């Protein structure tokens, strides 16, 4: 019976820590995560830091932070451990020399002593002759014993894999059958002159030793795949199944880079995009479920994800869609969560002193309640609530227009100020308590023969400096009686300044 037990599903996300966690990388991580969770498998994180020049600790940290922000916790990997460590490729490198030895001993690889200059020259020649850019196998002529002797004698050289004749067929889970003729491949270097192994070799070893069952990665790796399959076969490894997901393209087409938009997950985290919005957005780039559902929680994605539904063509990055999702989830989160997210930003903006956080919480919650369906990511909250903390020193265009347009708005406001002061008691100005303000304004407008808009719009302009805010009376209730009356008392000045009457 035991032979019927299907092999465990193990996938990995294997970023190289150069720079930041790219949005495309995050999506690759998501697809791996989803696939693992869906099938009860294991999601492994492996850091491919073999490029010592370009790898940085900050970049490694950015990967951890980015994945955690998105909620894609790995089952095995750095800071987590597991039975297949170490999870930094740099720490794994030494263990591959025995594989190199094996290839050498079996005649599947050979030492190459060609100088870089010769290689460059060769390449130039081939380019000029419009030939395939391939190593010419000069060192294949060196007898193995002779090569060993020279190697032991200290002559610098690399080890090349001898690509056999024939073709390799990849049954890609997304792309279907991909056939590559071996003559298109050159004898790739597997071990450098300094004794370290090259990426294409290291992955094969790592994936094998980590018992990776499915390799889900970007399409840019598709051309690496035949090399890795060949290497794996030469070593007698069980080769994993492959799934190459389409790339994310920049808006006008072409590779997405920092020129086009923020491409680092860290940036989006900083801007305060809700992770569930990010996840939903990422998932829908290149994957779809049916013709009905666009909104998915992580849990639903786990349930509904499948590689067959990943599309083959590249997806263009569309910030507007992200923003739409951002706004969508903003309306769904418990307001308390939103307050937690907003508070630090308000402190940083200087609106709230850090020691006042606890005291201000209730008021911020009311603001958040009003603003939540007007923002797409949390950083936008700062500008939206500025007028609660700072007297509006300038008016936006809309507000200016309102004040200029209404002929006797200034006197209306003065009458309103006196009236509201007398008619609406202090305790009807608390956050959330705006019914009395509302009723009073309607009454006054009726008495003056004005529409509510005639009264409310100039009021809003004076009170907030804006022509667009949440419901005026809700806003006023949060602002408080004293602040409102103070701002209204200066209405004349403001009118004079903008040229209204």
Partner RNA sequence: GGCCCCAUCGUCUAGCCAGGCCUAGGACAUCGGGUUUUCAUCCCGGUAACAGGGGUUCAAAUCCCCUUGGGGUCACCA
Q: Which of 290, 299, 426, 427 binds RNA (CB under 7 A)?
A: 290
Q: Is 68 or 321 the residue whose CB approaches RNA more closely? A: 321
79: contact with RNA by CB under 7 A:
no
182: contact with RNA by CB under 7 A:
no
Compute CA distances 361 → 341, 346, 351, 370, whole Å: 12, 11, 13, 14
Minimum CB–partner distance for residue 373 and RNA (Å): 5
483: contact with RNA by CB under 7 A:
no
A 10 A CB-CB count for 192 gives: 14
441 in Cβ contact with 452 (< 8 Å): yes
Residue 360: alpha-carbon gap to chain centroid = 32
From 56-64, 361-369, 472-480, 481-489, span contacting RNA (CB under 7 A): 472-480
Q: Which of 32, 89, 264, 280 binds RNA (CB under 7 A)?
A: 89
Compute CA distances 54 → 79, 81, 86, 221, 423, whole Å: 22, 25, 20, 20, 69
Residues in region 259-288 near RNA by CB under 7 A = 284-288
Task: List the structure tokens of 87.
Answer: 């999870």
373: contact with RNA by CB under 7 A:
yes
Residues in region 378-407 near RNA by CB under 7 A = 398
194: contact with RNA by CB under 7 A:
yes
Query: Cis ω on the peptide bond leading into residue 119 (within 30° of 0)?
Result: no
Compute CA distances 447 → 407, 413, 436, 455, 472, whole Å: 18, 14, 16, 12, 19
211: contact with RNA by CB under 7 A:
no
63: contact with RNA by CB under 7 A:
no
How many residues bind RNA, per CB under 7 A? Answer: 86
Q: Is 180 or 491 the residue whose CB approaches RNA more closely? A: 180
Compute CA distances 225 → 99, 172, 460, 474, whole Å: 19, 10, 63, 60
246: contact with RNA by CB under 7 A:
yes
Residues in region 12-51 near RNA by CB under 7 A = 16, 48-51
- Residues contacting 347, CB < 8 A, separation 6+: 353, 354, 357
CA angle 54, 58, 63 (to 5 degrees): 95
How far is residue 250's CA from residue 373's CA, in Å, rounded to a whole number? 28
Give catalytic residue positions: 258
490: contact with RNA by CB under 7 A:
no
Q: Is 16 or 28 the residue whose CB approaches RNA more closely? A: 16
How far is residue 117's CA from residue 137's CA, in Å, rounded to a whole number? 15
Q: Which of 60, 263, 413, 456 binds RNA (CB under 7 A)?
A: 456
Minimum CB–partner distance for residue 131 and RNA (Å): 9
Helix, strand, coil in percent for the chain, rounding step 5:
55, 10, 35
Q: Which of 38, 80, 151, 321 binds RNA (CB under 7 A)?
A: 321
187: contact with RNA by CB under 7 A:
no
165: contact with RNA by CB under 7 A:
no
- For 236: left if phi > 0, alpha if psi spans -120 to 50, otherwise beta; the answer is left
Q: Which of 311, 390, 411, 501 binds RNA (CB under 7 A)?
A: 311
452: contact with RNA by CB under 7 A:
yes
Minimum CB–partner distance for residue 439 and RNA (Å): 11
């Amino acid at each position: 019976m035991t032979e019927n037990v299907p092999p465990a599903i193990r996938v990995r996300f294997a970023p190289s820590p150069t720079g930041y966690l790219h949005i495309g990388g995050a999506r690759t991580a998501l697809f791996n995560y989803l696939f693992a969770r869906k099938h009860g498998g294991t999601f492994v994180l492996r850091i491919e830091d073999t490029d010592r020049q370009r790898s940085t600790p900050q970049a490694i940290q950015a990967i951890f932070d980015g994945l955690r922000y998105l909620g894609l916790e790995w089952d095995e990997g750095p800071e987590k451990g597991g039975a297949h460590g170490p999870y930094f490729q740099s720490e794994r490198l030494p263990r591959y020399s025995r594989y190199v030895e094996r290839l050498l001993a079996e005649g599947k690889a050979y030492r190459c002593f060609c100088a870089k200059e010769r290689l460059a020259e060769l390449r130039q020649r081939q380019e000029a002759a419009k030939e395939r850019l391939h190593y010419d196998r000069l060192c294949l002529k060196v007898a193995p014993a002779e090569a060993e002797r020279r190697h032991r004698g200290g002559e610098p050289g690399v080890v090349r894999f001898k690509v056999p004749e024939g073709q390799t067929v990849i049954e890609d889970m997304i792309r279907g059958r991909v056939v590559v003729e071996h003559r298109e491949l050159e004898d790739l270097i597997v071990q450098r002159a300094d004794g370290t192994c090259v990426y294409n070799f290291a992955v094969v070893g790592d994936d094998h030793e980590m018992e990776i069952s499915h390799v889900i990665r970007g399409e840019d790796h598709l051309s690496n795949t035949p090399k890795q399959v060949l290497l794996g076969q030469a070593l007698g490894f069980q080769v994993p199944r492959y799934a190459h997901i389409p790339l994310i393209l920049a808006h006008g087409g072409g590779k997405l880079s920092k020129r086009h938009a923020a491409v680092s997950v860290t940036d989006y985290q900083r801007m305060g995009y809700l992770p569930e919005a990010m996840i939903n957005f990422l998932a829908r780039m290149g994957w779809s479920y049916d013709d009905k559902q666009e909104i998915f929680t992580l849990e639903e994605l786990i349930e509904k994800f499948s590689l067959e539904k990943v599309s083959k063509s590249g997806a263009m990055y569309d910030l507007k869609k992200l923003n739409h999702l951002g706004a969508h989830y903003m309306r769904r989160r418990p307001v308390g969560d939103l307050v937690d997210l907003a508070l630090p930003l308000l402190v940083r903006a200087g609106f709230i002193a850090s020691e006042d956080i606890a005291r201000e919480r209730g008021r911020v919650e009311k603001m958040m309640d009003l603003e939540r369906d007007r923002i797409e990511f949390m950083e936008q909250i700062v500008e939206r609530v500025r007028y609660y903390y700072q007297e509006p020193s300038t008016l936006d265009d809309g507000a200016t227009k309102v004040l200029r347009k209404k002929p006797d708005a200034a006197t209306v406001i003065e009458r309103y100020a006196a009236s509201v002061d007398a008619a609406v008691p202090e305790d009807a100005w608390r956050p959330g308590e705006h019914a009395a303000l509302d009723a009073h304004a309607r009454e006054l407008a009726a008495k003056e023969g004005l529409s509510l808009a005639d009264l409310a719009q100039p009021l809003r302009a004076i009170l907030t400096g804006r022509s667009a805010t949440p419901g005026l009376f809700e806003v006023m209730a949060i602002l408080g009686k004293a602040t409102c009356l103070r701002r209204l008392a200066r209405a004349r000045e403001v009118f004079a300044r903008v040229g209204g009457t």
